[in-house]
């Protein structure tokens, strides 16, 4: 039924044998593996009937289902300190109002909501694996902007307030005994203040102030209880780990707490202190800081080889460790190190073992103003010439692309497309110069960088300049809308927008109350404060909605109706503007989703829609029909999108 679509833009291109749609597009079989504090059991997230569900079992034995929400996937699980309970955070329909649920793994008849507060969000501050002290939560039940700290006794399921947040702190950090010892606060000018105290219950004093231009993040309390571990780029271009004394605020470097030419991600600790620096260079990696952990990493490397490596979970005594590993062309695996031996605990996508995937290769380029950028290219297997291309723009924008296995990238490569990804200015992890170059550049040089990456791909012979589409989610969706609306940009043949902002001014005004304290250090700095007339004027000027009259390329939009970040009206308004002018726009509205899409049938429906859309406009291949459930979901999304009032 799709042969006409294949010929609309160009003749079908040669490609590797098609991987069946329902094999390549579906959710991973297992997506998390969390070892119990005593190292005897493991809790996992495994897909059951299209939903991520909690399972539990002995390390080497069968696991059984203990919690499944038929309405929405579960994507996280952790153990209580004593290993008696399983704890899960979940929202409703993607609204990001998270509640904490308790599960008895031995009697999992139902989960108990420990934070049943309408309109509030619960965040775990501390889950002390194998340690004394309470589980600590931050909950904004009293004030929507600022959370208070509560201690939770999972056994009784009761909460008690332990810190009333009248000072406007935005984050809290506890020591090994369960005492809040540090907090962060953002001032109106965007400075980030670190406050600390030597003893729980004492007065907080300001230890450090990071100006807006300094990348600064509090990582946690050192295991010795005498200092705070932070990462900062105050001494150079990249972020490194520092120790700030709780008694005197003095700074000193944490030995081994850096990632060379790249920003540090995190410092991992156990009860004795730091065990590793977590780094992302081309892909994720670990730099051990403790001999025992170095041995475990070495064992895992025997299996992972040169693939990425990150820590998934660890028992309280460090005798059992689970790592995650993957590569651009290799699906993920969990590796367990126990008793001095490493083995594959589980393959995340065992159904893909029979297939070959295209390698994801890094490349470097200089933007038109000379800024050095890092990108990735994934070409179809067997590709020897310039072909149809998708430039996939990451979200955030304060994150980055890496050489990891991405189902979407491999799906499009299998259908015959080259996929280009670039860490444009404003991306994190690549140093101050790249990050700060994004200030004030939404809709301008950040999009220039994406265009420059496409032109680089054309020069390299990877991309056919007449057949390039742009795609992205959140900020990436904004970039897709910008890419087909701004003057002087690359001439994209089509665009796909996943919940991308169309109007920057109304976007920032509508952010949830809990986001307001963070805006001076992020959105106000990069995009503008809409309460300042000059900023509001610039935000309107750079918004795709303002420039919608210039849009000519076909557009596909996905939107979650419950999205608290990029609200539905952002997509509704751009769709109505285009439809009024007769522009081809396909609007898919998911009534049961938020900013991200949790349920498998949603992902399948979206993947099918893009598969057909790109085939129509770029000439790639289309596989067999997906499942009936995915088809019904797609029909429902399209009907909801067609029903909006314009």
pLDDT tens string 410-443: 999 999 999 999 999 999 999 999 999 999 999 9
pTM of the model: 0.94
List for the chain the helix, strand, coil content (%; round to 5).
20, 35, 45
Q: Which residues share a beta bridge with 372?
A: 366
Using alpha carbons, select from 514, 505, 574, 510 the residue that is nearest to residue 541: 505
Using alpha carbons, select from 226, 228, 282 the residue that is nearest to residue 429: 282
Q: How high is the pLDDT of residue 424?
A: 98
Confidence of residue 156 (pLDDT cuts 50, 70, 90): confident
Q: What angle do CA 242, 307, 237 make, to 5 degrees?
A: 30
Is residue 149 within 8 A of residue 140, CB to CB? The reply is: no
The 10s digit of each residue's pLDDT in 97-108 is 999 999 999 887
111: its two tokens:
């989960």
Q: How high is the pLDDT of residue 7?
A: 28
DSSP label at residue 518: G
Least confident residue range of 63-77, 130-144, 215-229, 480-494: 130-144
Using alpha carbons, select from 282, 336, 311, 620 the residue that is nearest to residue 469: 620
Q: At what angle do helices 475-483 and 445-459 cross, to 10 degrees?
A: 70
Whole-number Å distance between alpha carbons of 574 and 438? 25
Distances (CA, A) of 39 to 270, 271, 301, 318, 581: 14, 15, 21, 8, 62
Confidence of residue 10 (pLDDT cuts 50, 70, 90): very low
Q: Which residues share a beta bridge with 304?
A: none
Q: What is the DSSP string of 340-372?
A: TEEEEEEES-GGGTTS--PPEEEEEEE-TTS-E
Strands laid side by side in the 264-270 sheet: 264-270, 273-280, 284-288
pLDDT at 4 over 60: no
Is residue 279 within 8 A of residue 264, CB to CB? The reply is: yes
Per the model's pLDDT, the better-predicted residue between 646 and 46 turns out to be 46
Q: How high is the pLDDT of residue 17?
A: 87
Confidence of residue 132 (pLDDT cuts 50, 70, 90): low
Q: Residue 340's CB: how many other CB atoms inside 10 A?
A: 9
pLDDT at 546 over 80: yes
Whole-number Å distance between alpha carbons of 40 and 594? 36
Average pLDDT of span 83-90:
94
Q: How high is the pLDDT of residue 39?
A: 96
Average pLDDT of span 602-615:
96
The 10s digit of each residue's pLDDT in 391-415 is 999 999 999 999 999 999 999 999 9
Can you list the positions of beta strands (E) in 348-440?
360-366, 372-378, 387-393, 418-423
pLDDT at 52 over 50: yes
With b for 16 or more beta-carbon neighbours within 10 A and e for fewer, the 140-162 pattern comes to bbeeeebbbbbbbebeeeebeeb
Q: How high is the pLDDT of residue 343?
A: 98
Computed over every residue of the chain, the mean pLDDT equals 94
Whole-number Å distance between alpha carbons of 391 and 411? 14
330: its two tokens:
């290799």
pLDDT at 162 over 60: yes
Q: How high is the pLDDT of residue 326?
A: 98
Q: What is the DSSP string of 190-216?
A: S-EEEEE-SSTTS--EEEEEE-TTS-E
pLDDT at 289 over 60: yes
Q: How high is the pLDDT of residue 11?
A: 40
Whole-number Å distance between alpha carbons of 430 and 241? 15
- Residue reference for tokens 């040089």: 445
N- to C-terminal Cα distance for the chain? 32
pLDDT at 128 over 70: no
pLDDT at 388 over 80: yes
Average pLDDT of span 559-575:
96
Q: Which residues share a beta bridge with 469?
A: 390, 494
Percent of the chain at pLDDT > 90 equals 89
Q: How high is the pLDDT of residue 154?
A: 65
Confidence of residue 31 (pLDDT cuts 50, 70, 90): very high
pLDDT at 471 over 80: yes
pLDDT at 14 over 70: no
Q: At what angle do helices 600-618 and 628-642 cross, to 10 degrees?
A: 70
Percent of the chain at pLDDT > 70 equals 96
- Residue reference for tokens 């429906």: 605
Whole-number Å distance between alpha carbons of 467 and 451? 14
Average pLDDT of span 196-221:
95
Q: Dmax of the chain from CA atoms?
A: 72
Q: Residue 332's CB: how many other CB atoms inside 10 A?
A: 19
Average pLDDT of span 602-630:
95
Confidence of residue 15 (pLDDT cuts 50, 70, 90): low
Average pLDDT of span 323-330:
98
Least confident residue range of 99-113, 164-178, 210-224, 310-324: 99-113
84: its two tokens:
């008696």
516: its two tokens:
């307001």
Q: What is the DSSP string of 120-153?
A: --EEEEE--TT-SS-EEEEE-SS-SSSPEEEEEE
Q: Domains in the chain, please, with CATH?
A: 3-23+356-503+543-642 (3.40.50.1820), 257-348 (no CATH)
Beta strand pairing call for 171-174 and 158-163: unpaired
Beta strand pairing call for 418-423 and 387-393: parallel
Least confident residue range of 130-144, 212-226, 405-419, 468-482: 130-144
pLDDT at 124 over 70: yes
Is residue 614 within 8 A of residue 621, CB to CB? The reply is: no
pLDDT at 640 over 80: yes
């Amino acid at each position: 039924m799709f042969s006409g679509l294949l010929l609309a833009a160009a003749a079908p291109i040669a490609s590797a044998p098609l991987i069946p749609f329902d094999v390549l597009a579906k959710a991973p079989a297992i997506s998390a593996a969390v070892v119990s504090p005593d190292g005897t059991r493991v809790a996992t997230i495994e897909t059951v009937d299209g939903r991520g569900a909690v399972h539990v079992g002995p390390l080497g034995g069968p696991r059984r289902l203990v919690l499944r929400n038929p309405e929405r996937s579960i994507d996280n699980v952790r153990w209580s300190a004593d290993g008696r309970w399983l704890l899960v955070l979940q929202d409703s329909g993607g609204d990001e109002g998270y509640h904490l649920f308790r599960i008895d793994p031995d009697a999992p008849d139902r989960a108990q909501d420990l934070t049943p507060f309408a309109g509030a969000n619960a965040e775990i501050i501390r889950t002390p694996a194998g340690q004394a002290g309470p589980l600590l939560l931050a909950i904004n039940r009293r004030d929507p902007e600022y959370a208070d700290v509560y201690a939770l006794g999972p056994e009784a399921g009761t909460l008690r307030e332990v810190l009333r947040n009248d000072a406007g702190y935005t984050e809290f950090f506890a020591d090994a005994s369960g005492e809040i010892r540090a907090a962060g606060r953002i001032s109106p000018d965007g400075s980030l203040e670190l406050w600390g105290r030597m003893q729980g219950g004492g007065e907080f004093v300001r230890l450090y102030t990071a100006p807006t231009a300094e990348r600064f993040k509090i990582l946690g309390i050192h295991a010795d209880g005498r200092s705070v571990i932070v990462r900062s780029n105050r001494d150079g271009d990249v972020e490194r780990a520092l120790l700030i004394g709780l008694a005197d605020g003095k700074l000193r470097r944490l030995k081994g707490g850096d990632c060379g030419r790249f920003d540090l991600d995190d410092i991992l600790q156990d009860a004795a202190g730091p065990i590793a620096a977590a780094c992302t260079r081309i892909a994720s990696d670990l730099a051990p800081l403790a001999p025992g952990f170095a041995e475990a990493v070495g064992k895992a490397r025997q299996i992972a080889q040169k693939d990425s490596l990150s820590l998934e979970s660890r028992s309280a005594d460090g005798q059992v460790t689970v790592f995650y590993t993957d590569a651009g062309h290799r699906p993920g695996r969990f590796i367990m190190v126990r008793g001095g031996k490493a083995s594959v605990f589980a393959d995340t996508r065992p159904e893909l073992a029979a297939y070959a995937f295209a390698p994801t290769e890094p490349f470097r380029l200089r933007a038109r103003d000379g800024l050095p950028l890092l990108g990735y290219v994934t070409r179809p297997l067997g590709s020897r010439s310039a072909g149809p291309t998708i430039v996939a723009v990451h979200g955030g924008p304060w994150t980055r692309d890496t050489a990891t296995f991405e189902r979407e990238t491999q799906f499009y490569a299998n259908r015959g497309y080259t996929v280009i990804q670039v860490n444009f200015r404003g991306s994190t992890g690549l140093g101050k110069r790249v990050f700060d170059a994004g200030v004030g550049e939404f809709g301008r040089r950040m999009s220039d960088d994406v265009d420059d990456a496409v032109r680089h791909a054309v020069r390299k012979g990877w991309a056919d300049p007449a057949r390039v589409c742009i795609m992205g989610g959140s900020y990436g969706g904004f970039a897709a809308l910008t890419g087909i609306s701004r003057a002087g940009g690359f001439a994209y043949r089509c665009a796909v927008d996943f919940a991308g902002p169309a109007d920057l001014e109304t976007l920032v005004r509508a952010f949830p109350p809990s986001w307001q304290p963070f805006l001076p250090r992020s959105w106000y700095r990069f995009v503008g404060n809409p309460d300042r007339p000059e900023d509001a004027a610039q935000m309107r000027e750079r918004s795709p909605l303002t420039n919608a009259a210039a849009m000519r390329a076909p557009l596909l939009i996905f939107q979650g109706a419950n999205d608290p970040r990029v609200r539905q009206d952002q997509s509704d308004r751009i769709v109505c503007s285009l439809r009024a002018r007769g522009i081809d726009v396909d609007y898919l509205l998911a009534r049961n989703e938020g900013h991200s899409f949790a349920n498998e049938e949603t992902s399948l429906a979206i993947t099918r829609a893009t598969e057909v859309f790109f085939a129509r406009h770029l000439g790639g291949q289309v596989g067999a029909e997906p499942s009936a459930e995915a088809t019904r979901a797609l029909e429902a999304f399209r009907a909801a999108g067609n029903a909006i009032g314009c």
